[in-house]
Chains A and B, each alone.
Chain A
Amino acid sequence: MSKRPEHQAPPEVFYNDEEARKYTQNSRIIEIQGQMTERCLELLLLPEDSSCLLLDIGCGSGLSGTVLEENGHMWIGMDISSSMLDVAVERDTEGGLVLADMGEGVPFRAGCFDGAVSVSAIQWLFNADKKTHNPVKRLNKFFTTLYSSLSRSARAVFQFYPENEKQLELLTTQAMKAGFYGGVVIDYPNSAKAKKFFLVLMTGGVGPLPQALGTEEPDSLQVKYAKREATKGIRGKPIKNSKDWILEKKERRRKQGKITKPDTKYTGRKRSGRF
């Protein structure tokens, strides 16, 4: 069985009292969570020396919240695991805590947060833990409600562990659909252990993605800056009468067992002007 917690049980079951206790006692977990939150804050690009109101999605036991507090920000956290939130209460964190499922939407008023951070939480949305769960729908609901709860020109940074390319693509597509701009920044892409994925989303205004750590040539292994328009072509059919479209159509006919001419270098090519 894989070691990924997402594969073992739904989040509200997996993060039980025993698992939650690890998050207060295990110094390694505390250190790593802290480092990732610091990096998220860096990517948020908040105005300097001002305290902001931030949303912490999947705040858990408030380890990330403590880092936010140390940087002088106020935060409101949401999490689905009541055991983890109980630990946050015990740890005496300053932020507000709400027990909520991010796949059901972000239950906050429009435009109230200066930014959002999330450490190792969003990958849980790819799972369907109940019969009624539809990951695409839940992602869509999450991103649209998150978009409305952020103030203009705010950013949202998610640290997460994608399983495969498809998840990365689904995540960025859904975020763009909700109106965000942005993409994925991969820190230390050549290291197996230090490699970290950050989804950086921006509302309003196009800006360049921040530079990833541990990459010598800029943009070498980063997912390229994704524009909303550019994602339109990814899903759905290819443009009508294009070469891809013809090839796809021929392939479909072949599968149906119909007589189809073989694909050659002339397939879908324009006639020369002499004709």
Chain B
Amino acid sequence: MKLITHNMLTSKCLKGVVTGYPLAINATDIKVKEVDFNPEFISRVIPKLDWEVLWVAADSIGHSDGLPRSLENKYDENEEFLKKAHKVLLEVEVEEGHLTCPESGRQFPISKGIPNMLLNEAEVQ
């Protein structure tokens, strides 16, 4: 699972959960896969992200070095920064581990890089 997916993912489909965001990451296996750098996409997607959540997530899996905690004003002109954001967003992959819902504590396993968000019958709203 890439951190861009994590930044969008919620557990609000669970019964009784209102926001279900952000999900806590507990990773046992992390890989870094190279992906083509597209600065235009990165600067387009950053306003949609919750940067604070991204930073905390990156920090929790030990990939936050050099990443600023808060966004600068003209980040789209800073290529150095965009490259770092690209690496954290698209190249770092959580292969194994689990996600934890902040409200209910329900755990969603991640296996082979795919988070399993399937619910059982009692958990559906």
Give A78's nearest chain B residue, CB to CB.
B117
Q: Which chain A residue lies CB-closest to B5?
A: A96
When the two chains form their complex, are residues B125 and A141 in contact, meaning their CB atoms are under 8 A apart?
yes
Alpha-carbon separation in the docked complex, A52 to B45 (Å)? 8
Q: Contact at A96–B1, with CB atoms within 8 Å?
A: yes
Report yes or no: B41 in contact with A51, Cβ–Cβ below 8 A: yes
| A132 with B121: CB separation less than 8 A | yes
Q: Does A99 contact B (CB under 8 A)?
A: yes
A51→B38 contact, CB < 8 A: yes
Asked if residues A107 and B11 are in contact (CB atoms below 8 Å), the reply is yes
Chain B residues lying within 8 Å of A104, measured Cβ to Cβ, are 13, 118-119, 124
| In contact, A107 and B12 (Cβ under 8 angstroms) | yes
| B9 interface residue (CB < 8 Å to A) | yes
Measured CA separation A111–B49 after assembly (Å): 10
Residue of A nearest to B113 (CB): A89
Our pick among A98, A112, A132, A149 for the contact of B117 (Cβ within 8 Å) is: A98
B2 part of interface (Cβ distance < 8 Å)? yes
**Bound Cα distance A218, B17 (Å):** 47
- Knowing A51-B38, A74-B41 are in contact, say whether A108-B121 is a contact too (CB < 8 A): no
Q: Which residues in A have their C-beta under 8 angstroms from that of B10? A: 107-109
B contact residues, range:
20 to 34
What sequence of 0s and 1s flags, for each residue 89-124 of chain A, a beta carbon within 8 Å of any chain B beta carbon? 100001011111100111111011100000000000
Counted as pairs of residues, one from A and one from B, with CB atoms less than 8 Å apart, the total is 90
Given A96-B2, A130-B121, A132-B121, A105 and B48 touching (CB < 8 A)? Answer: no
In the bound complex, how far is the Cα of B20 from the Cα of A100, in angstroms?
Answer: 15
Question: Is A41's beta carbon under 8 Å from chain B?
Answer: no
Alpha-carbon distance between A228 and B114 when the two chains are bound, in angstroms? 37
Is B74's CB within 8 Å of the partner chain A?
no
A170 close to chain B: CB less than 8 A: no
Set A50, A72, A99, A141: member contacting B115, Cβ < 8 A: A99
Residues of chain A whose beta carbon lies under 8 Å from any beta carbon of chain B: 50-53, 72, 74, 76, 78, 80, 82, 85-86, 89, 94, 96-101, 104-109, 111-113, 130, 132, 141, 145, 149, 151
Since A53-B48, A104-B124, A151-B48 are in contact, a sample of 17 more A-B pairs with Cβ atoms closer than 8 Å, ordered by chain A residue number, is A51-B38, A51-B41, A53-B4, A74-B38, A74-B90, A76-B4, A78-B117, A85-B114, A96-B2, A100-B13, A104-B13, A107-B13, A109-B8, A109-B9, A109-B10, A112-B8, A145-B13
The list of the 9 closest CB pairs from A to B, nearest first, reads A96-B5, A105-B13, A100-B117, A51-B41, A99-B116, A108-B8, A112-B8, A132-B121, A96-B2
**Can you offer 18 A-B residue contacts whose CB atoms are under 8 A?**
A51-B40, A52-B44, A72-B41, A97-B113, A98-B9, A101-B118, A104-B124, A105-B13, A107-B9, A107-B10, A107-B117, A109-B7, A109-B10, A109-B50, A112-B8, A130-B121, A132-B124, A151-B48
